[in-house]
Structure 1
Amino acid sequence: MATNTYTVTGMTCDHCVGAVRGEVSQIPGVTDVQVDLSSGQVTVTSDAPIDVETIRASVDEAGYELAS
């Protein structure tokens, strides 16, 4: 089991949270996604480590940006 926290920029409302959660949840192996709107923190729990570029692509697909 692996847990990593990322900062996502551009989220301003609950719809944003849902969009990011929905896209990241579709990554194979992801078991949980927690999004904190106020801090922009997205915590991803998965069966095995997931490449940051895979997370970045999912966040991009949702319309937001993973902070470097």
Structure 2
Amino acid sequence: MTAAGHVFRRSSPAARAQRVAIARALANRPRIVLAGDRDAAVIAVTRDEKIFDRFDDIHLLRDGRFAGREMA
């Protein structure tokens, strides 16, 4: 059993439902995914670099790892 598997089994039903919703949103490889957190911030996930200028704070990922940050 992996550590991640162990964590997932102990997580709440709400957390599991959130992961399923994220997986469904990403399944069709959309150009952009918008999500909100409990602090009313909007989080956008995209591969489309043409829309980066619409956001104030950008966190870059490369090969699944944090690769830097850009501020507008």
TM-score, reference length from structure 2: 0.28
In terms of Rg, which structure is larger? 2
TM-score, reference length from structure 1: 0.29
Higher helix share: 2
Larger RCO: 1 or 2 (CA < 8 Å, sep 6+): 1
